[in-house]
Structures are given as structure tokens and as C-alpha cells.
Amino acid sequence: MAETKPVERPLSPHLQVYRPQLTSITSILTRITGNALIVAALLVVWWLLAASTSDEYFALANGVLTSWFGDLVLTLSLWAVWYHYLAGLRHLYFDAGKGMDIPTAEKLGWGCIIGSVVLTVITLLLV
């Protein structure tokens, strides 16, 4: 019987041989922003419930939301809203069977990223 030497190969692609594409990153980012918006919504609901509870509890919640941390969370939530909105429009375009070639999909991905940052800055300047 012939002896065979097993070849040492990875079981699946890993970061040494696999580079994530922009389309996969934007898809993952869409899911992350959707879940992050749930957390931000819970924070705003907490603030509203605190307003209806007592002055002391509202002062605590308002202090958290108006601190640097609250400003950071709400600004990132604003960006997540715009990103999630643009990514939803991109997926509607894909559902229509358009833009499925790689160059167009990558342009749409960059459009979501850059567009969400621009729309966030415009929204912050208008408020």
C-alpha cells in the first residue's frame, strides 16, 4: 500500500489569503447599523420614560444624553440612519435586477458610505 502524506491546508479562507470585498463590508455594515439603531432607539425611549417619571430621573437621563458620550452616540446614530437608508435604496435597486455587475455594485457601495457621511454633516449643520 502506498503511503500518502496529507497536505496541510486551511479549512476555509482566512485573512492570509482572503481579502474582504467592498460589497461584503457594506452588507455587514448594513446589519451592524440596523442593530445599532435599535440600541439608540432604546436610549431615546429611556430618555422619554425618564421625562415622564420624575425630575430627578430625567435629570440623570438628560445628563447622559447631553454629555459628550450622548452626543457621540446620537451623532453616530444619525450617521447610521443615513447609511441604513441609502443601503436600503441600494438593495431595492439590486432587487430590481439592476447594478449586479461588480463595478456598479462597488460604486453603489462607495456611494452609500460617502453619501451617508455627507448627509450626516449636512444634517448636523442644519440643526
Sequence-ordered alpha helix ranges (H) in 6-101: 22-53, 55-65, 68-95
Cell triple for 76: 453616530
List of domains in the chain: 22-126 (1.20.1300.10)
Per-residue pLDDT band at 6 (split at 50, 70, 90): confident
For residue 4, the model assigns a pLDDT of 77
Residue 126's pLDDT is what?
Answer: 96
List CB contacts of 106: < 8 A, sequence separation 6 or more: 21, 22, 23
pLDDT in tens, 96-107: 999 999 999 999
pTM of the model: 0.81
